[in-house]
Structure 1
Amino acid sequence: ALQEAASASAPVLAISSQIPTAGLGGGRHGYLHELPDQAASFRGVVKSVHTVRTQSQIPSAIAAAWKSALTVPHGPVWVEIPQDVLLAQTSLPVVTAVDATPDELVPRPELTALAAELLSNAARPAIIAGGGVVRADASGKLLRLAEKLNAPVVTTFGGKGAFPWEHPLSLQSWLEDRHTTNFLEDADVLLVVGSGLGELSSNYHTFKPRGRVIQIEADLGKVEANHPALGIHADARPALQALLETVSERPDETAPQRVRALLARVADRIASQELTLEQDVLASVRRALPAGSPSCWDMTILAYWAWSAFDPRGANTMHSAQGAGGLGYGFPAALGAAAADPSRPVLAVSGDGGALYSIAELATARQYGLNVTWLIVDDGGYGILREYMTDA
């Protein structure tokens, strides 16, 4: 779970117990579950580790951990509290408030000024919108910038919902289609917002841009990690606002026509391969799911189709395990979404193999009356493994 949160840049606060304080420091006291360094087991998958040694340290440790998790790039954090600290009586008053205001990551103005100049003078600009746009709640700013530049927009699988699916400038999410890859490679200026252009966002690293790339990314380690670019280390929201204030209006009546032509080529490719059944299933799911309702997708073939073909109808409504890729994600994630907002129905989608990982959570759903519908796609076998072996 923490690895998935790290891969998806999701802020998660994990609190665990620890052996008594006398055993900390790598000694061998023989406590149950004793490890020489428990925190070391988590450092590779969390932003920060916080070890509490006294009760008075707990509020500050929790506040520091939350601030770390919520400061971009978002991610999971780990707090461990020794057993004797948890069990001891305390005279400390109840904590009524914790200040965990995250630090803001704003762009350097000279970089956004250069980016605005490049975009304003581009002949064929295009935009790749990643999960960073969704996490920054910057979909509105992205829409206004795309319309001001008349720039077609494709959303990554983590950025689904960042741009309206049926908008005349929407390339939707067909990132695994070579026609889309060709379209993006042909852009003379490509703006990448909130994406590191990893494996899934680059058509398995076959994407080779020929024009100038501008990359806005909150995770410094991902800036220019896969392609040379004008790298702007910033959160998507203030960076898009800075561009909105500095780019020039760019008329281009051909942009919607080029988008329609690209989507038509994608549709023709799918029809020629007799793959319309998967799209029909997703269309049925879309009709049944109310707009604005969350959907949580396990690692299953229908979910892989949904990454490209499903219209989420809003940002932050479609969730899937794209980072760690762990089976069993869908149903527990849906339960969490339903608990957070009981007013909306939630859909979970799993395969017949992945569903068994979390089948026991049906009891949790029943116990708390959570409004979750679970769609289990039964193809009579472990379909993706069967496909791999058939193609081997």
Structure 2
Amino acid sequence: MKYFVDKNGYYGEFGGAFIPEMLHRNITELQNKYKKFITSFEFQKSYKETLKNYAGRPTPLFFCKKYSDKYKAKIYLKREDLNYTGSHKINNTIGQALLAKKLGKKKIIAETGAGQHGVATATTCALMDLKCIVFMGETDIHRQYTNVLRMKSLGAEVISVCSGDKTLKDAVNEAIRYWINHPECYYLIGSTVGPHPYPQMVADIQSIISEEIKIQLKEKEGSSFPNYVVACIGGGSNAAGSFYHFLDNDSVNLVAVEAAGLGIKTKKTAAAIHCGSKGILHGCMTMLLQDEEGQVLPAHSISPGLDYPGIGPMFANLFVKKRVSFLHSTDEEALQAGYELTRLEGIIPALESSHALAALKKIPFKKMDLVVVTLSGRGDKDINVYDKFFTKFSNDEQNT
């Protein structure tokens, strides 16, 4: 598959493993063992049985009639929000936790922004009898406190990160520092970022999403291949899972939607492809927000899960190769899209997913186009943000 990692850990010019010496043994062990293990019959049997009986897979592919009428195309939602814990993150945590146990690890560390990866990690660790530490930026702790309570209830230790902007980037920084000092731990990275083999490993595990889409679309429409697959993107785990089995079919248009924040012409954005440049972040060469001296710039998004200054190296390469189209949605556009889906279809999306929904207005669909949008998470965690906007938006509508 031409868009995947090569034997040296690179996607074209992006990727690699830029790591401290203390982590060399851990990373080399993963590089040597992960692929053989996750493709084994033993892993696949355990992984898929756990997803089915514990996480609730397969998730539905839901046809949105009113949405389809509005956008003049046949629009389906891949309902990752209906996974146990409320997002696609549980797919990855179950897979990596099984790998960690195979490697003899007893303690898991993880980072989280929106809290969804943290909750999924804490849940999986409770299930598999693993100790769990989750690093989370202080800013994100305040805006996603319900998820903090869920993690603690599941037995995880949540460490507040007060450095930098106190968001996802800083949580990753602290998790890596801890890992350097405690190499006996397993670092369960939540997205397609970090040193090789993490970007490809997370993509491989999350590929269950597009595997199901092909089967479900065949049942509903008689074709396994849609015209468009649309997903929001920060680091890229949900987009990687959504695009994985379509990458080698050029007839499928793949659209990744970045968080523009207050706009790509402002300094308050998280759009690494639109506003970034090539550099090294968290152990890999990729596209990131940085100044002329190579200092990482702060990212901004209303959605904590997209509030990250870089993008996975797989997607930096897909951008350069022009296989994936990259759009962007602002905070305001995402809020409006979340409001629209809630009122039209009775589904409250996570703010991350709302960025993908907002991009539908920017895509020139044809009448019979088959469109799949991955709803990566549910909006319970964002309800306080939505409540303020929905109240204002409803009042504005009544006054016009």
In terms of fraction of residues, the more helix-rich structure is: 2
For the criterion TM > 0.5, the same-fold answer is no
Structure number with the bigger relative contact order (C-alpha 8 A, sep ≥ 6) is 2
TM-score normalized by the length of structure 1: 0.29
